[in-house]
Amino acid sequence: MKLISRRNVLKSAAAASTLPLLGKSAFAMDPVKVAFVYLGPIGDHGWTYAHEQGRQAAIAKFGDAISTTIVENVAEGPDSERVIRRLAEEGNDLIFTCSFGYMNPTLKVAKRFKDVKFEHATGYKRAPNMATYNARFHEGRAICGTIAGHMSKTGTVGYIASFPIPEVVMGINAFTLAAQKINPDFKTNVLWVNSWYDPPKEADAATALIDQGADIITQHTDSPAALRVCEERDLLAFGQSWDMTSFAPKAHLTAIMDIWGPYYIDRIQKVMDKKWESADTWWGFKEGIVALAPYNERIPADVVAEAEAIKAGIIDGSYDVFTGPIKDQSGKVRLAEGRLTDGDLLSMDWYVEGVQS
């Protein structure tokens, strides 16, 4: 419905004046046409905003050599297929579909348009012209969990979750396991709101979790509403996808930031060099695709030092939050020793002990 969103129009208008596409520069090569399909509004200040920052990074890097199109607010499911197909028909060379729910629609369109290259975020289905990419958000969750383990007085943290897909499940588990290394009795109370973006509902969910004894709220939904609730009630919270400090200067402990820029630049470069291949990319702290927002002053220095040490451990491979023994909710040992493989993580459908959901 919002193929031509207002900002899109403004931006394309601004960009058009500089684009060789309009024939002003007959010598330049045709720009690589890159399209992005966004789940929410760019103004969510979360997930979609982070992807938009990635696109901006690519524009800053390539300038006139690429021309980009965005479509915001695309509902997951059949509606997205129509949008993706249209972008393919419009002659885009590379299309990024930036949400899990676009997986099947992207695959369907990819099979029809063999010459167009597709990149699907956070999914697991691939094709010769459809790659997948994801970020190791659970690495960031482990750090948030460590901080929560130290900072929570009640030992219970509220976790506002969207949909029980592996990405969200592994985030919950990573957070809980990391916190339990500090406080073995740590509990994570998970509340599913069945939406990626619903500010009033996220605010109500935060209230409900606080009433049940949570003194820190973390979320896997995209709006800053829960942070505002925590700010009002003088509690603590973690931001999502981007630095949300401005919404809650007192409550915002830190946030996992999704830095998609390096990946987008890498993939667009590969298209330019005609070296693009379908692949499954899963980068983390090491590649700079996951980062942390500045730590709140309320976090004691030794906790910050510990968080930084864990981050260094994740980068050099010495720390993995999914190291055995790990028990699931029923108390059954899921992993006696060693580490979970990427395959285990990507199909994770069980919760560790201490998760209430």
Partner 1 sequence: MSDTIIISIIMTVIGASTPILLAALGELVVEKSGVLNLGIEGMMLIGAVVGFAVTLTTGFHLLGIVIAMFASTLSAMLFAYLTLTLTANQVATGLALTIFGIGISSLMGEPYVGKTIEIFSSWFPASLAEHPQLRVIFGYSPLVYVSLALTFGVSYFLKKTRAGLILRAVGESDISAHSIGYSVIGVRYAAVAFGGAMAGLAGCYFSLVLTPLWSEELTAGRGWIALALVVFAAWKPSRLLLGAYLFGAIMTLELHAKAAGFSFIAPELLAAMPYLATIVVLALISLRKSSGLAAPACLAKPFKPST
For binding to partner 1 (CB under 8 A), which residues are involved?
A: 1-2, 5-7, 40-45, 73, 158, 189, 191-195, 197-201, 203-205, 207-209, 211-212, 223-225, 228, 231-232, 244, 246-248, 356
For residues 235 and 216, is the Cβ–Cβ distance under 8 A? yes
For residue 46, the minimal CB distance to partner 1 (Å) is 9
Integer Cα distance of 180 and 168 in angstroms: 18
CB nearer to partner 1: give 42 or 340.
42
Sign (positive or negative) of CA dihedral 158, 207, 76, 266? negative
For residue 198, the minimal CB distance to partner 1 (Å) is 4
Q: Tokens 């659970």, residue? A: 138
CB nearer to partner 1: give 146 or 223.
223
Q: What are phi and psi of 269, to 5 degrees?
A: -60, -40
Report the SS3 class of residue 213.
Answer: coil
Q: Tokens 């919270």, residue? A: 237
Integer Cα distance of 116 and 95 in angstroms: 8
CB nearer to partner 1: give 53 or 146.
53
CB nearer to partner 1: give 32 or 214.
214
Integer Cα distance of 124 and 128 in angstroms: 13
For residue 43, the minimal CB distance to partner 1 (Å) is 4
CB nearer to partner 1: give 44 or 167.
44
Report the SS3 class of residue 122.
Answer: coil
Beta bridge partners of 117: 94
Q: Tokens 């997930």, residue? A: 47
Q: How many CB atoms lie within 10 A of CB 154?
A: 12
For residue 176, the minimal CB distance to partner 1 (Å) is 16
For residue 82, the minimal CB distance to partner 1 (Å) is 17
CB nearer to partner 1: give 118 or 159.
159
For residue 212, the minimal CB distance to partner 1 (Å) is 5
For residue 39, the minimal CB distance to partner 1 (Å) is 12
CB nearer to partner 1: give 125 or 233.
233
Q: What DSSP element (H or E) covers 204?
A: helix 199-211
Residue 134: Cβ-neighbour burial (10 angstroms; 0-12, 13-18, 19+): buried
